[in-house]
Amino acid sequence: MSSVVDQAGAPRVSVLLRTKDRPGLLAEALDSLRAQTFSDFETVLVNDGGPIPAALLEPAPGRAITVLAPPAPGGRTRALNSGLSAARGTYVAYLDDVGISGSHVVLAHVIHTDGAERALLAARGTTVSHCPSSNLKLASGICPVPEYRAQGIRVTIGADGAPCNDRLDAFTEMRLAALLPKVRLGPGALSAWDVVRMATAEGASALRLPTGTLETGRRADLLLLDPGSGFAEPTTWRDDPYGPIVYSMDRSHVVATFVDGISRYRRGASFPLKPSSAEIGAAVAALKRRRLEQKR
Query: For the domain that residue 157 is a member of, what is the CATH number?
Result: 3.20.20.140
The predicted structure's pLDDT at residue 239 = 80
Distance of CA 140 to the CA centre of its chain: 15
Task: Indicate whether 127 and 40 sit together in one domain.
Answer: yes
Task: Indicate whether 247 and 102 sit together in one domain.
Answer: no
pLDDT at 80 over 70: no
Full-model pTM:
0.71
Final residue belonging to a domain, choices 209, 234, 267: 209
DSSP-assigned letters across all residues of 108-127 = E---S--HHHHHHHHHHT-E
**62 is a domain residue:** yes
Our count of domains for the chain comes to 2
Task: Indicate whether 129 and 181 sit together in one domain.
Answer: yes
- Cα distances from 255 to residues 57, 183, 230, 232, 237, in angstroms, run 45, 33, 12, 14, 22
pLDDT at 286 over 70: yes
pLDDT at 199 over 90: yes
**215 is a domain residue:** no
**287 is a domain residue:** yes
Final residue belonging to a domain, choices 164, 182, 209: 209
**pLDDT over 70 for what percent of the chain?**
69
pLDDT at 89 over 50: no
Task: Indicate whether 27 and 152 sit together in one domain.
Answer: yes
**214 is a domain residue:** no
- Cα distances from 114 to residues 19, 87, 138, 144, in angstroms, run 27, 11, 21, 11
pLDDT at 140 over 80: yes
Instruction: Give the structural domain span for 203.
Output: 2-209
**198 is a domain residue:** yes
**Rg over CA atoms, the chain:** 21
**268 is a domain residue:** yes
At 94, phi and psi to the nearest 5? Answer: -65, -45
Q: Round to whole Å and give the CA distance between 154 and 194.
A: 11
Task: Indicate whether 114 and 230 sit together in one domain.
Answer: no
Task: Indicate whether 254 and 127 sit together in one domain.
Answer: no
The predicted structure's pLDDT at residue 28 = 65
**Three-state SS sequence of 15-62:** EEECCCCCCCHHHHHHHHHHCCCCCCCEEEEEECCCCCCHHHHCCCCC
pLDDT at 229 over 90: no
Task: Indicate whether 48 and 194 sit together in one domain.
Answer: yes
Final residue belonging to a domain, choices 154, 179, 209: 209
Task: Indicate whether 130 and 264 sit together in one domain.
Answer: no
Q: Round to whole Å and give the CA distance between 272 and 280.
A: 13
Q: What is the mean pLDDT of residues 100-114?
A: 88
Pairing outcome for strands 222-225 and 254-259: antiparallel
Q: What is the mean pLDDT of residues 233-250?
A: 88
Nearest to 16 by CA among 51, 54, 49, 45: 45
Q: Round to whole Å and give the CA distance between 24 and 294.
A: 9
Task: Indicate whether 16 and 148 sit together in one domain.
Answer: yes
The predicted structure's pLDDT at residue 295 = 80
Task: Indicate whether 125 and 242 sit together in one domain.
Answer: no
- The answer to whether 127 and 155 are in contact (CB under 8 A) is yes
Dihedral of CA atoms 231, 226, 137, 112 in degrees, nearest 10, equals: -120
Task: Indicate whether 178 and 277 sit together in one domain.
Answer: no
**108 is a domain residue:** yes
DSSP category for residue 244: I
**137 is a domain residue:** yes
